[in-house]
Amino acid sequence: MPDHKKMIRVMLIDCRPLVLLGLHDLINARKPRMEVSGQATTYTQALDLADQVRPDVVFFSFFPDALDPLEVLAGLARTADRKVLVLKGVYETVPVAQAIEAGARGIVLAEDSTESIIQAIIKVHHYDIGLDRAWVSGLSGYASARHIPFRCSPAQAKHARLTLRERELVRAIVGDPSAKYLCIAGRLGISEHTVHNHLSSIYQKLNLTNRIDLLMYAARHGLTDGEGPQGGPNLPD
């Protein structure tokens, strides 16, 4: 059972002084519910500081740095009692699926209300809520989910990188494994060239080589389970 009375220690990682100041004041205003235990403006500093202050929640931002942010995120998330919450602006590009795979537990938008941000910290600290399938499949539009805490397997993180059109193509191939690409293109209303482009992207994202690999992967991971048909009568439910 989580101890809801214990103060939540929050560490901030961001290269922007104004962002750090705003989060610092927001969080410390909630004492004794939570407090800022440390602030870092580089990833090297963040790794050192995390070991020193032992935060419960790490507010993590992606920014240019000598170190790979995903590797840093994974290092911070390696400790079970330390939860990483990614801070993202609406117009910032963040590798969401990779962040999940690295160990991030949630996302909060910088544009969210102050109370939403506070609640995100509390939820990601006290609860380990799994992603529902619909949210995973629609990860490309995850901003609408705002600060929902999440955790998923590496396989789910790979699937989440697929676009809706790529998932539609996977369903078409699994539904009729012997179909020629020209036939599949006709069902989906796209060109054969576009089919090949999408397949190349799918193979790269899932670390596959060819159609046989894709069929085996889809069967092994239930990639199309629970998804309705979108390409015609021969597509599986």
Cβ atoms 38, 11 nearer than 8 A: yes
Indicate the burial class of 212 (C-beta count within 10 angstroms; 0-12, 13-18, 19 or more): exposed
**According to the model, what pLDDT value does residue 96 have?**
74
* pTM for this prediction: 0.56
**According to the model, what pLDDT value does residue 222 have?**
76
Give domain limits for the chain. 8-158, 163-221
* pLDDT greater at residue 223 or residue 140: 223
pLDDT digits (tens, 9 = 90+) for 152-177: 556 666 776 778 788 889 989 888 88
Of 8-12, 88-92, 105-109, 213-217, the one with minimum mean pLDDT is 88-92
- Residue 165's identity, in one-letter code, is R
CATH of domain 8-158: 3.40.50.2300
Fold for 163-221, please state it.
Arc Repressor Mutant, subunit A (1.10.10)
With a cut of 70, say whether residue 19 has pLDDT above it.
yes
pLDDT digits (tens, 9 = 90+) for 42-65: 999 999 999 999 999 999 999 999
Closest CA to 210 of 184, 173, 168: 173
pLDDT digits (tens, 9 = 90+) for 131-155: 333 233 334 444 344 444 444 556 6
